[in-house]
Amino acid sequence: MFNTLRTLLLTALHAFHRRATVQYPEQQPYLPPRYRGRIVLSRDPDGEERCVACNLCAVACPVDCISLQKTETDGRWRPEYFRINFSRCIFCGFCEEACPTYAIQLTPDFEMGEYARPNLVYEKEDLLISGTGKYPDYSFYNVAGIPIPGKERGASERERPPIDLHSLLP
């Protein structure tokens, strides 16, 4: 009996507590940089697409909402198309974790409501941003052994110049 009354009192006293609700459109909440919102494709520090079309994001996606096709220019792999169906996306961030080149990143933007579902299908042009996102200095081709224009074979980080096959010196 007393407990019940105490409960009533305590509940009533909550009328004088601060409200936890954030009045969203007027009052913008703080979203940390690692918040998992809209997915973007970032670029290298030199402005080239970071995505190498390795398909790991697609295979990591639990709702299978990422699809892409590899193409190649000058030794660089890139996606011919890169499509995300955001009407299926659950913003789990697995794609970002799977990405070996920091290309695919989730951003703190979640305001992507649409009236028509087809508008939620984002193509590569919609996903590409012009910056590097959360990882400003990383460039996959600086550490990969693949030569690209401007980087000769053997010029990646921690690589020796190519072997001279005609030498038998140790």
Partner 1 sequence: MTTIRIDGRDCPTRSDINLLQACLEAGANLPYFCWHPELGSVGACRQCAIKQFSGPEDRKGRIVMACMTPVSENAIISIDDPEARDFRAGVIEWMMVNHPHDCPVCEEGSECHLQDMTVMTGHNTRRYRFTKRTHRNQDLGPFVKHEMNRCIACYRCVRFYRDYAGGDDLAAFASHDNVYFGRAEDGTLRNAFSGNLVEICPTGVFTDKPFSAVYTRKWDMRGAPSVCVHCAVGCNTIVNAREETLRRVLNRYNTDINRYVLCDRGRFGHGFINAPTRIRTPLRAIDGQQVPVPMADALTAFARMATQGRIVGIVSPRAALETCFSLHALVGPEHFSTGQTRQEQECTELAHTLLTRHPGALPTLHEMESADAVLVLGEDVCATAPRLGLSLRQSVRQASFHTADNAKVPRWMDAAVRTLGGECPSNLHILTPAPTDLDNVAAETFRAAPDDIARLGFAIAYAIDPFAPPVTDLTPDDAAHAARIAQALMAARKPLVVSGMQYGSPTLMQATASIAAALVRTIPAAGLSLVLPECNSMGLAMLGGLPLETVMEQARAGEISTLVVVENDLTRHLDLADVADLVAAVPNIVVIDHTMTPLCQHASLVLPIATFSESNGTLVNQEGRAQRFFQAVFPPAPIQAGWRWIQALARSLDPSMHPITGLIDWRDLDEALAALAMAFPDLAPAVMAAPEADYRINGEKLRSQTYRASGRTVIRSFVSVRDQPPPASPDTPFSSSMEGAYEPDMPGALVPYYQTPAWNSVQALNRFQSEIGGPMRGGPSGIRLLSPAENQNTEAQPYAYATDIPAPYIPQADTVLVLPDTRLFGSEELSMFSPPITARSSAPTLGLPASATGSGRMVLHLEDGPHDLPVEPVPGLPEGTVLCPTHMVARAFRFPRIARLEGLTDGGERP
Partner 2 sequence: MTSSALLTIILTPLLLLALATLLTWVERRLLGLWQDRHGPNRVGPGGMFQAVADGIKILFKQDWIPPFADRDVFILAPAIGMMTALLSFAVIPITMGTGIAGDLNVGLLFILAMMGLGVYAVVLAGWSSNSKFALLGGMRAAAQMISYEVFMGLALLGVVMMAGSFSLHDIVTAQAGLWFIIPQCLGFGVFLLAGIAETHRLPFDLPEGENELGAGFHTEYSGMKFGMFFIAEYAGIVLVSSLVTTLYLGGWRGPLLPPAVWFLLKTGGMVAFFILLRASLPRPRYDQLMALGWKVLLPLSLLNVMATGTILMLRASL
Which residues make up the interface to partner 1 (CB under 8 A)? 52-56, 58-59, 61, 63-72, 77, 83-85, 87-88, 100-101, 117-118, 120-121, 123, 140, 143-146, 153-154, 156, 158-163, 165, 167-168, 170
Binding window for partner 2 (CB under 8 A); candidates: 15-23, 93-101, 121-129, 142-150: 15-23
- Could you tell me if 83 and 66 are in contact, meaning their C-beta atoms sit under 8 angstroms apart? yes
Q: Coil, strand, or helix at residue 105? A: strand
Q: Coil, strand, or helix at residue 125? A: helix
Choice from 10, 163, 165, 168 touching partner 2 (CB under 8 A): 10
Q: Coil, strand, or helix at residue 3? A: helix
Q: Provide the pairing of β-strand 104-106 with 39-41.
A: antiparallel
Q: What is the spatial distance between Cα 148 and Cα 166, in angstroms, rounded to a whole number?
A: 25
Question: Minimum CB separation from partner 2 for residue 124, in Å?
Answer: 38
Q: What is the spatial distance between Cα 40 and Cα 132, in angstroms, rounded to a whole number?
A: 10
Q: Does 28 bind partner 2 (CB under 8 A)?
A: no
17 touches, from partner 2, partner 1, none (C-beta below 5 to 8 Å by class): partner 2
Residues at the interface with partner 2 (CB under 8 A): 4, 7-8, 10-12, 14-15, 17-21, 23
